[in-house]
Structure 1
Amino acid sequence: MKVVAGSASLGLGEKVARELGFDFVRPHVERFPDGELYVRIDDDLDDEVLLIQTTHPNKKIIELFLLQDALREMGVKRIITVVPYFGYSRQDKIFRPGEAISARVMARHIGMNSDYFIGMDLHSENVLQWFDIPTMHLHATKPIAEWLKSKGVDMVISPDKGGYKRARYVANEMDVEFDYLEKTRLSGTEVIIKPKNLDADGKTVGIVDDIISTGGTIARAAEQLREQGAKRIYAVCTHGLFIGRAMENMKRVNDFAATDTIESVHSKITVASVIAKAIGKLSSMQ
């Protein structure tokens, strides 16, 4: 097997190939003056290929589809498509009449030229139901826990109840306490946000989320935790978009990190070992 990575995941692809001891293939990708993409794979390939490409921003989605088609044209019989960050996953149901279910659209198109799909910390596991091929859902729990350990974190917090399981998994990996922030309305104008069950006073707290976009949620959580006496505050996510006022908002914490599912200067954590381990298990099952 060889590892092919699109331009959104070159660094991660190289790390995964190194972990597995596989050859790494970097496709030729260029953009025409009208904005259209051109891809070409010059290397000889095996019957089975591991293709890694994050589908963010939009142009990386088209690149993934073109790479899949190129692999089929080259005679690759089995394509394992790894999408470290699955763009459009947050629209996984109809909220208002007339909407598209964008996560379903993405799943169907990715599955057209894949034989196996692997996602990482999907916003909702509902995405997997729309694939007509075998799927695997991976989590960045272990590498995130290792980063938080290096910061001396002794309490893990989810910014909301929806992320409680994620906080629990990370905390269990670290053997520390965990909780989520709960909003309590005291009056028509006064609201407090604090951990549901635990006391943050004197703690070094790690806020764990799946996605950091503008950082507004992290900033509000950090403010409340500081008011309650948290000693130091760190924020970490699997998928770091960091758009808008994100950098201003992230100043509210002592340090922050994202994984390399979306590659940027903030990708201080790699998920390469998680993907490599999954591929190793998949290969042993064949």
Structure 2
Amino acid sequence: MKLTASTTKTLKNGVKIPILGLGVYKAPKEETEHIVYTALKQGYRHVDTAQFYGNEREVGLAIARFLKDTPEFTRSDVFYTTKVSPTNHGYEQAKKSILESLEKVKEIGYVDLFLIHNPMAEPEQRLGTWRALQEFYEEGKIKAIGVSNYSIKHLEELLNWKELKVEPMVNQYELNPWLLREDLCAFCESKGIIIEAFSPLTRGFRMKDPLLQKVIEKSYPGKSPAQILIRWSLQKGFIPLPKSSNEQRLRANLESLDFEISDEDMKTLTHENDYFVSNPNFDPIKNCP
């Protein structure tokens, strides 16, 4: 099947999520609206932000402007994700922050996916945050809910919670050919949890990897390391969320949908014994109690 930026996966509640997203972490606030608008015009249909990024408002404005300027598209054609900040854990604080996030994007009416950004809190606070998300989901103001940076232990804590009404639909965490997290991926798949891959380009640290370069020279001349890494995530069944503020690179990242990596090259690219986290000071999956 030919992949496009509008190709979707289906969450366990039936919501459709595009298979490639644009991440806007560290996108300058004053540039975010232009970056997102440009990406949407190029063909992106999925944008991932967070309270912590400080640019929810700008992403919402970009989506609203795109929909106004291109009336052939409707709100359901663009998927918007945000996340509850680690500083807003706990029922009351999370509820307040979710209301603020909804207000910031009032022009687009609702949030498609709201995640817990990471589990860095006490269990009672984590579960309180989920309680708040459940309530907004049941009211229809959020179309889907999930988590980010959750380990198997954190997922089991949530799935076994006696007050659980809505199971997590997504887990977003760092993945790349040198960071497989096979046990976590298998667990998520067994529970019907869609996997999103942030930092699929290793924040640039592995772009000049000799083996990656060799594979490109042998089989994919003209393709960039970024395109190979994005395509690797797609073929692993993940939803990659590459980020860029450069118009040419935004377009090039979309072109990851236009080719396939052979089974042999996928095996060569996949480093089963590595554990490369692009920010070693931030690995809640491994370090959060």
Q: TM above 0.5, one fold?
A: no
* TM-score of the superposed pair, with normalisation by structure 2: 0.37
**The structure with more strand, counted as a fraction of residues:** 1
When normalised by structure 1's length, the TM-score is: 0.37
Q: Relative contact order, CA 8 A, sep 6+: which one is greater?
A: 2
Bigger share in helix:
2
Q: Select the structure of larger CA radius of gyration.
A: 1
